[in-house]
Amino acid sequence: MTSIYPFSAIVGQDEMKLALLVAAIDPSIGGVLILGDRGSGKSTAVRALASLLPKIAAVAQCRFGCDPDDEPALCDECRDKLSKGPLKIRQIDVPVVDLPLGATEDRVVGALDLERALSQGVKAFEPGLLARAHRGFLYIDEVNLLEDYLVDLLLDSAASGENVVEREGLSLRHPSRFVLIGTGNPEEGELRPQLLDRFGLSVEVRTPKDLSERIEVVRRRDAFERDSAAFVGNWRKENTRLRRRIMAARDALDNIELSDEALKRTAQLCISLGTDGLRGELTLMRAARAVASLDGEKKVADKHLRRVAAPALRHRLRRNPLDDAGSTTRIERAVADLFGP
Amino acid sequence: MTTLSDQHPSIWTNAVHAAALFAVDMSGIAGINLRARSGPVRDAWLELLREFLPASCPICRVSHHLSDERLLGGLDLAATLRSGRPVAERGLLVQTNGGTLILTGAERASAVLAAHIGAALDAHEVNMQRDGVCELSSARIGLVMLDEGIEDENPPQALLDRVGFHLDLDQVHWRETVVVGFNRESVIEARRRLDQVDIHDDVLCALCEAAVTLGIDSIRAPLLAIRAARAAAALAGQRTVRREDVALAATLVLAPRGTVIPQSGASPETKPHTSETDDSCSFHADEPEAEVQSIDDDRPLSEVIVEAARAAMPPTLLAQLQHSDALMMRTNAAGRVGALISSARRGRPAGVRRGEPRAHARLNVVETLRAAAPWQPLRQHEIAQSQAPALKLRRIEVRRDDFRVTRLEHRGETTSIFAVDASGSSALYRLAEAKGAVEQLLSDCYIRRDRVALIAFRGQKAELVLSPTRSLARAKRSLAGLPGGGGTPLATAIDAAATLAVAVRRRGQSPVIVLLTDGRANVARDGTPGREKAALDALVAARVVRSTNIAALVVDISPQPHVSAQRLAAEMGARYLPLPQADAKNLSLAVQAVRRTECL
């Protein structure tokens, strides 16, 4: 197993890091899309996130890692167990599951267990990647190159929060709620609108332009490649601190006050930009709340809205053929108009 | 052991060094793009590489139209049936673990293939999730891309960015291919030493600085240069990276990636597209042919690096950089070439997927049987148990779940080439409309599989504002700040559109030319003003288009439809569409109509 680059050692790229942290604090945000230059550390950041996440409680011996505190979302097996007595609980790592481009459908949604069919002649369900990603993250690198039929499967499951499999007379449904994380290079082509809409936050990453920042990136990367164990060790303290912040932010999330004033500001911003639908507003509000919680504050203020306005709204603007300014510029303009420079 | 020769190192000498360094640190340098025609020079280089690589190192040659299954692996059916438990078949990426993958026809590799290989180069492992088997296997490979691209045909950027060296052997004569400075033993020795080679922090900084000075945006470049410098030091038997190692790394890694030729002296640098370049790294170069070996130790290291890279930059680059707009577009466009489109109806087979055979999906019998095979014992057992008299035992039980259909892909994309009259006579607002139409076309291109290119003509020239793209991000960038005003060089514009159309067709796509003009040419092909000659030239250019059989549409955008545009359309064999109130939507519909006729 190759070691993972520590999240806190990533230089710059603040928007990307913030978006990933927001998704870790509030999974209901609905996924993060990261588009940008080659070699700007997109994949590194997503993989780094995995090692940062605190453990979660799950039903022991459940193949889907059901949440014992969320009774309505339990899988059938766990429900059976629950009717017989209290559920056993264990702590598991938050799953961060890679969906490689070359994956076939049966591995994504799950299929009959070939091993058991061959050796024991038994029909048993073998969970796929959607099951493994339940309560965690599903990561797709080069998301704009994903085959259409796989995109359809993802969209189905993402919309309903569960995965339905019908194979060989075996019919099964299991919960599958995951934060979708996609990375890609916009020059490879556009993302399908349905999939684009699925992402709560959309981040643009650029290769750093500042020389000293670039040097720092190269320096750390080189140190990591030469002696990854030592490098990870050096950053362990920093990573632990960040993990504690995430945990605290999660716990505090429900108590963050979202004043009418802040709601009004959110609505004003969305109206001035003419975003489609309410999803933008909802995401912006939730993301701002997560940021406030991460900062250890009690209520959502303008400064929190400011920081997440671009990622929450960037991909929801209607395209205006006659306005050449990019989405980011338009949002910055609207934010400056509303909140002052 | 030879190091860089006293004179200017030849391309071949550099190529030999590249092969040796790659052999020393294969997974660190990641790979080599070898641009060369198939022939004795390329063979000689590959032979050399083979000599450098340890005997145990697997070398696997694959073609660009390799299937996902071969590359990534899947279920080994025969072994599975024999042993009664699922057996995974390892793909070529995993089989090549610890060795070199040679990709032929790299300039035609698809974006998906590039993504698969790129993922393996990054992670050094392959995550296979296919056919009911999942396996994470290590795949430390080096990639050699054989690139036979002509002109602006390039391998996917995703791979070019990841591989350390870009070699171009087209200028090398086979008689030059004799120098050998290293052998397998020196490589093996260097491999052993590689881990202990130190690199000073100021060397690292200097490489980063030099990359910025040369206008290299990707941060992978300095990282790869560091690896190359380490390998060079190891090969030379050193413990620390020396200046000549860094210079060699700059020659091999940075020079081919450079987009800016650094100017000498303190003259302000003119780089239109790299405004990010840090001005603090000014430098004072002496002579272009400054020798790498005899470097005066007082000179800052980044200067040495830039100088080495500059000496290795092809002289033609300077000429290209003068038209840096075109260059930028070309480099951006690379990687999109040869993108494959999946289709239900036509094209060549590109793998299978589960699905019902319907009108346009052909059942793949072999794959269906393969899918059914492992389940036979289970099903036979079930039927025997059910004791239904009607169910006779069949040799093979095929169920609906087994149905596999062939996925097809084809290159039949359409590229709509817009040639837009941006002259004074077609008022400025027409240009805005054309921009709108291009964006309109792009925004639904996901469904239509269309690409769009934009040529604007005004004054004395026609300019490729947007090379064929499907990306809105790029379109937006290129469309911004498209100026208007001046004369109407119609002939030049038609020529430019036709040239592009032919190039597009060479790639197996269908071009459609959409000419938006009022037809009133007033600048001749040679740039001289004058209505008569200009009109004549335009008609001649139009006839050339007709002779190439390229589908075309002439959109008359003058307020009153005019006979000159009509005549032009006739000569071009194009459809004529008077559109005095052209709006983006109508234009898009008209282009679709022409496209359809073209496809039939």
**CA angle (A48 as vertex; A46, A54 as ends), nearest 5:** 105
Q: H helices within chain A, ranges in order?
A: 14-25, 42-50, 76-84, 105-109, 114-120, 129-132, 148-160, 193-198, 211-226, 228-252, 260-273, 279-294, 302-313, 327-339
Contact A238, A13 (CB under 8 A): no
How far is the alpha carbon of A71 from chain B, nearest alpha carbon, in Å?
31
Block residue for tokens 């692996």: B73
How much is the average pLDDT of B111-116? 90
Whether residue B85 sits in one domain with residue B229: no
| Range from A6-10, B370-374, B448-452 carrying the lowest mean pLDDT | B448-452
Whether residue A286 sits in one domain with residue A186: no
Q: For residue A38, list chain B residues with Cβ-Cβ distance below 8 A.
A: 157-158, 161, 218, 220
Closest CA in chain A for residue B129: A103
Q: Which of A150, A167, A211, A276 to mutate to test the interface with B (most CBs of B within 10 A)?
A: A211
Contact A331, A62 (CB under 8 A): no
- Is the pLDDT higher at A239 or at B270? A239
Give the whole-angstrom CA distance, residue A317 versus residue B307.
47
Give the whole-angstrom CA distance, residue A194 versus residue A185.
18
| Range from A184-198, B163-177, B291-305, B571-585 carrying the lowest mean pLDDT | B291-305
Helix/strand/coil for B125: strand
Whether residue A260 sits in one domain with residue A124: no
Kindly state whether B119 is in contact with chain A, defined as any CB-CB distance less than 8 angstroms.
yes
- Is the pLDDT higher at B292 or at B576? B576
Selection from A66-75, A325-334, B551-560 with the highest mean pLDDT: A66-75
Contact B207, B305 (CB under 8 A): yes
Helix/strand/coil for B119: helix
- Look at residue B318 and tell me whether its pLDDT is greater than 60: no
Whether residue A277 sits in one domain with residue A138: no
Confidence band for B141, pLDDT divided at 50, 70 and 90 = very high
How much is the average pLDDT of B357-373? 76
Helices (runs of H) and strands (runs of E) counted in chain B = 24, 18
Give the whole-angstrom CA distance, residue B111 versus residue A145.
8
Domains contained in chain B, number: 4
Nearest to B68 by CA among A186, A27, A101, A329: A101
Look up the CATH number of the domain holding residue B158: 3.40.50.300
Whether residue B225 sits in one domain with residue B187: no
- Look at residue B506 and tell me whether its pLDDT is greater than 80: no
Contact check, Cβ <8 Å, A107/B130: yes
Confidence band for B412, pLDDT divided at 50, 70 and 90 = low
DSSP states along A87-114 = PPEEEEPPPEEE--TT--HHHHH-EE-H
Give the whole-angstrom CA distance, residue A109 versus residue B362.
23
Q: For residue A126, list chain B residues with Cβ-Cβ distance below 8 A.
A: 132
Kindly state whether A98 is in contact with chain B, defined as any CB-CB distance less than 8 angstroms.
yes
| Partner residue facing B119 (CB), from A41, A100, A225 | A100
Q: For residue B471, list chain A residues with Cβ-Cβ distance below 8 A.
A: 186-190
Kindly state whether A322 is in contact with chain B, defined as any CB-CB distance less than 8 angstroms.
yes
Q: Which amino acid type is present at position B216?
A: I
Whether residue B512 sits in one domain with residue B384: no
Q: H helices within A227-259, ranges in order?
A: 228-252
Q: What is the CA radius of gyration of chain B?
A: 29
What's the length of chain A? 341
Structural domain includes residue B175? yes
The pLDDT assigned to B8 comes to 53
Q: How many CA atoms lie within 13 A of B418 on its CB side?
A: 32
Domain extent for B48: 1-196
Closest CA in chain A for residue B379: A121
Kindly state whether B586 is in contact with chain A, defined as any CB-CB distance less than 8 angstroms.
no
Contact check, Cβ <8 Å, A38/B157: yes
User: Which is it for strands B165-168 and A201-205: parallel, antiparallel or unpaired?
Assistant: unpaired
Closest CA in chain B for residue A121: B378
* Residues 6 or more apart in contact with residue A104 via CB below 8 angstroms: B74, B129, B130, B131, B353
Contact A133, A92 (CB under 8 A): no
Token output for B229: 């410098």
Give the whole-angstrom CA distance, residue B410 versus residue B406.
13
Helix/strand/coil for A205: strand
| Partner residue facing A209 (CB), from B75, B276, B401 | B276
Contact check, Cβ <8 Å, B436/A322: yes
Kindly state whether A109 is in contact with chain B, defined as any CB-CB distance less than 8 angstroms.
no
Contact B520, B425 (CB under 8 A): yes
Contact pairs from chain A to chain B, CB under 8 Å: 184
Give the whole-angstrom CA distance, residue B283 versus residue B287.
12
Kindly state whether A119 is in contact with chain B, defined as any CB-CB distance less than 8 angstroms.
yes
Structural domain includes residue B273? no
The pLDDT assigned to A322 comes to 40
Structural domain includes residue B283? no
CB atoms within 10 A of CB A18: 19
Structural domain includes residue B426? yes
Contact B414, B451 (CB under 8 A): yes
Find residues 172-201 of chain B whose CB sits inside 8 Å of chain A.
Answer: 199, 201
Q: Residue B277 carries which DSSP code?
A: S
Contact B335, A188 (CB under 8 A): yes
How much is the average pLDDT of A150-165? 86
Structural domain includes residue B351? no
Whether residue A148 sits in one domain with residue A38: yes
Structural domain includes residue B265? no
Whether residue A332 sits in one domain with residue A197: no
For the packed helices B11-24 and B40-52, what is the interaxial angle rounded to 10 degrees? 30
Look up the CATH number of the domain holding residue B466: 3.40.50.410
Structural domain includes residue A298? yes
Give the whole-angstrom CA distance, residue B528 versus residue B537.
11
Block residue for tokens 């969305």: A270
- Is the pLDDT higher at A242 or at B529? A242
Structural domain includes residue A238? no
Whether residue B328 sits in one domain with residue B208: yes
Active site residue A192: no
The pLDDT assigned to B290 comes to 36
Kindly state whether B329 is in contact with chain A, defined as any CB-CB distance less than 8 angstroms.
no
Nearest to B61 by CA among B75, B42, B74, B79: B42
Stretch (H or E) spanning B522: none
CB atoms within 10 A of CB B600: 4
- Look at residue B74 and tell me whether its pLDDT is greater than 70: yes
- Look at residue B280 and tell me whether its pLDDT is greater than 90: no
Kindly state whether A124 is in contact with chain B, defined as any CB-CB distance less than 8 angstroms.
no
Structural domain includes residue A176? yes
Closest CA in chain B for residue A189: B471
Nearest to B520 by CA among B553, B565, B560, B480: B565
Token output for B379: 């099903």
Whether residue B118 sits in one domain with residue B208: no
Kindly state whether B280 is in contact with chain A, defined as any CB-CB distance less than 8 angstroms.
yes
Q: How many CA atoms lie within 13 A of B329 on its CB side?
A: 17
Token output for B109: 């590799």
Q: For residue B133, list chain A residues with Cβ-Cβ distance below 8 A.
A: 107, 114
Closest CA in chain B for residue A192: B446
Contact check, Cβ <8 Å, B205/A324: no
Share of residues in chain B with pLDDT > 90 (%): 24
The pLDDT assigned to B85 comes to 83
Contact A112, A142 (CB under 8 A): no
Closest CA in chain B for residue A101: B116
Structural domain includes residue B167? yes
- Look at residue B281 and tell me whether its pLDDT is greater than 50: no
Selection from A151-160, A190-199, B305-314, B578-587 with the highest mean pLDDT: A151-160
Q: For residue A50, list chain B residues with Cβ-Cβ distance below 8 A.
A: none
Token output for B281: 């790294």
Kindly state whether A229 is in contact with chain B, defined as any CB-CB distance less than 8 angstroms.
no
Look up the CATH number of the domain holding residue B251: 1.10.8
Quote the strand ranges of A18-59, DSSP E: 32-36, 56-59
Whether residue A30 sits in one domain with residue A134: yes
Give the whole-angstrom CA distance, residue A36 versus residue B36.
31
Block residue for tokens 């899309």: A33
Q: Residue B527, by phi and psi: left (phi above 0), alpha (psi -120 to 50) or beta?
A: left
Q: For residue B70, list chain A residues with Cβ-Cβ distance below 8 A.
A: none
- Is the pLDDT higher at B574 or at A311? A311
Among B376, B394, B409, where does a domain finish?
Answer: B409
Domain extent for A314: 254-339
Kindly state whether B447 is in contact with chain A, defined as any CB-CB distance less than 8 angstroms.
no
Whether residue B206 sits in one domain with residue B124: no
Residue B147's φ and ψ, nearest 5 degrees, are -110, 115
Whether residue A302 sits in one domain with residue A199: no
- Look at residue A114 and tell me whether its pLDDT is greater than 90: no
Look up the CATH number of the domain holding residue A261: 1.10.8.80
Give the whole-angstrom CA distance, residue B444 versus residue A138.
28
Structural domain includes residue A228? no
Confidence band for A308, pLDDT divided at 50, 70 and 90 = very high
* Residues 6 or more apart in contact with residue B210 via CB below 8 angstroms: B222, B250, B254, B281, B302, B305, B306, B309
Q: Residue B165 carries which DSSP code?
A: E
Whether residue A281 sits in one domain with residue A150: no
Find residues 184-203 of chain A whose CB sits inside 8 Å of chain B.
Answer: 185-190, 192-193
Q: Which of B69, B90, B401, B469 to mutate to test the interface with A (most CBs of A within 10 A)?
A: B401
Among A205, A223, A244, where does a domain finish?
Answer: A205
The pLDDT assigned to B284 comes to 38
Q: How far is CA B257 from the centre of its chain?
A: 14
- Look at residue B2 and tell me whether its pLDDT is greater than 60: no
Structural domain includes residue B282? no
Give the whole-angstrom CA distance, residue A256 versus residue B406.
53
Nearest to B228 by CA among B26, B7, B12: B26
Structural domain includes residue A216? no
Whether residue A35 sits in one domain with residue A126: yes
Token output for B335: 């990687």
Contact check, Cβ <8 Å, B470/A189: yes
| Partner residue facing B473 (CB), from A101, A168, A186 | A186
Among A205, A220, A246, where does a domain finish?
Answer: A205
Whether residue B319 sits in one domain with residue B254: yes
| Partner residue facing B115 (CB), from A39, A123, A142 | A142
| Range from A64-68, A112-116, B160-164 carrying the lowest mean pLDDT | A112-116
Look up the CATH number of the domain holding residue A168: 3.40.50.300
Closest CA in chain B for residue A326: B476
Whether residue A262 sits in one domain with residue A196: no
Structural domain includes residue A241? no
Give the whole-angstrom CA distance, residue B111 versus residue A276.
32
Kindly state whether B404 is in contact with chain A, defined as any CB-CB distance less than 8 angstroms.
no
The pLDDT assigned to B140 comes to 92
The pLDDT assigned to B3 comes to 40
The pLDDT assigned to B467 comes to 83
Whether residue A189 sits in one domain with residue A110: yes
Among A205, A220, A245, where does a domain finish?
Answer: A205
Q: Estimate the share of chain B in helix, then strand, then coil, as percent rounded to the nearest 5.
A: 45, 20, 35
Contact check, Cβ <8 Å, A319/B161: no
Of these residues, A135, A214, A279, A314, which one is catalytic?
A279
Block residue for tokens 């050692």: A9
Token output for B496: 């430019």
Q: For residue A330, list chain B residues with Cβ-Cβ distance below 8 A.
A: none
Domains contained in chain A, number: 2
Burial A171-205 (b: 16+ CB within 10 A, else e): eeebbbbbbbbbbbbbbbbbbbeebbbbbbbbbbb
- Look at residue B306 and tell me whether its pLDDT is greater than 90: no
Quote the strand ranges of B518-600, DSSP E: 551-556, 575-578
Whether residue B106 sits in one domain with residue B188: yes
Whether residue A195 sits in one domain with residue A308: no
The pLDDT assigned to B282 comes to 36
The pLDDT assigned to B4 comes to 40
Whether residue B158 sits in one domain with residue B57: yes
The pLDDT assigned to B360 comes to 66
Helix/strand/coil for A290: helix
